[in-house]
Amino acid sequence: MIKDPDEIDKKYDKQIKIVLLGEVCTGKSSLINVYINKLFDEKITSTKTASFSKKIIQQKDKFYKLNIWDTAGQEKFRSLNQIFIKDSNIVIFTYDITRKSTFNELPWWIQYTESILGENAAVFGVIGNKLDLFDKEKEIKEKDEEAEFELVNSEDGKKFAEEINAEFLETSAKEGAPELEDFIYKLVEECIEKPEFGLRSEFVSLRGDEGKSTKNCC
């Protein structure tokens, strides 16, 4: 399913823009790091502005280049997020299952996204991250007695995702997020199957049609 990273930029049929959004420290960069590099870095630094990754995946006989924007959760970079949201085909909203405040902010993120993309204009996914910590309140409080610890239960996460018509995943980047690959694949499939969601970007075909750009051909 996954092509050798060296193949990136050589041959693909279409491009899909994916953006990750959510509060600071929900694990956006960690999720992308395990997805792309199969690495979890405990000492990862907070994202400034945004970071870009790419990956080629195959669906049936077609190759899709995923252009993935991992945005910054910090308030001071928020105004820049609109640049990364613009023209996205897939938007993934993240929260930390141990910090309910990050879940409670999701309606704001959705409203903000829709103010840029319009309604029903992209495929949505919701990820509740840090599942490995669900029973670790004691350890967390021992390290920092002021740390927030209020669990978001699975049912609430699932219900919220249903309400906004999004795919839902609870996972742990720390444990390698083994379900993430299938989750993103499902979002990509949905984007391909529902052209109204996939038509925001300009898809560029480089296979047998070098350099020619093809609009609205998802």
Under rule CB under 5 A, residue 47 binds Mg ion = yes
Radius of gyration (Cα) for the chain, nearest Å?
17
Q: Which of residues 32-71 bind ligand GTP (CB under 6 A)?
A: 42, 44, 46-47
Exactly one of 172, 200, 204, 206 binds ligand GTP (CB under 6 A); that residue is 172
CB of 212 to Mg ion, least distance (A): 36
Cβ closest to Mg ion, residue 22 vs residue 157: 22
Under rule CB under 5 A, residue 33 binds Mg ion = no
CB of 159 to Mg ion, least distance (A): 27
**20: Cβ contacts below 8 Å, ≥ 6 apart:** 28, 31, 32, 68, 69, 70, 71, 92, 94
Exactly one of 29, 33, 89, 205 binds Mg ion (CB under 5 A); that residue is 29
Cβ closest to ligand GTP, residue 29 vs residue 89: 29
Angle at 214 between CA 213 and CA 217, to 5 degrees: 155
Cβ closest to ligand GTP, residue 33 vs residue 201: 33
Q: Which does 30 bind (CB under 5 to 8 A by kind): ligand GTP, Mg ion, none?
A: ligand GTP
* Residue with tokens 């600071």, as numbered in its chain: 24
Q: Which of residues 72-111 bind ligand GTP (CB under 6 A)?
A: 72-74
Under rule CB under 6 A, residue 130 binds ligand GTP = yes
Under rule CB under 6 A, residue 16 binds ligand GTP = no
Exactly one of 14, 16, 29, 84 binds ligand GTP (CB under 6 A); that residue is 29
